[in-house]
Amino acid sequence: MLVRGIRGAITVEGNTPEEIIEKTKELLTTLKKENDFQTEDIVCILFSVTPDLNAAFPAQAARELGWSQVPLLDMQEIAVPGSLPRCIRILVQINCLKNQPEIRHCYLRGAKVLREDLNKNDLKKG
């Protein structure tokens, strides 16, 4: 069994608990669907938010999805001038048998600009 990392990011419209939790759930469920893993396969999840988001912990979204046994950690991104605002980033580590190229990283909404190379590949595949 291997440990693989799955990256993802999503932007939110505003700094509200509802928006942060809703969009984090959207990203988590997309990552789970695209990579076909079970909750018990998750080693841990790291969440980071840009400094302009502080109304809620993104990890709360995982708890609300029922991921109660998964180790979770929230942190703040480095405040790099000119970087993408209102962004939630996620690193999910899972136990799996997939090769690195089989992992599907997901960048949603305004976060698509962070990995345009992956979005171009998705267009070619689909």
User: pLDDT value at position 119?
Assistant: 65
- 8 A C-beta contact, residue 60 and residue 21: yes
In angstroms, the CA 69 to CA 121 distance is 34
Return the number of other C-beta atoms located less than 10 Å from residue 28's C-beta.
23
Model pTM? 0.92
User: pLDDT value at position 120?
Assistant: 54
Walk along the chain (126 residues) in steps of 10 and give the mean pLDDT of each run: 96 98 98 97 98 98 98 97 97 97 96 84 44
Q: In order of start, what are the domains of the chain with their CATH numbers? A: 2-125 (3.30.1330.40)
Residue type, 84: L
DSSP 55: S
User: pLDDT value at position 121?
Assistant: 47
Instruction: Report residue 26 CA to chain centroid gap.
Output: 9
Return the number of other C-beta atoms located less than 10 Å from residue 102's C-beta.
11
Number of H helices, E strands in the chain: 3, 5
Q: Would strands 2-11 and 42-49 be described as parallel, antiparallel, or unpaired? A: unpaired
Tokens of 39: 């909750």
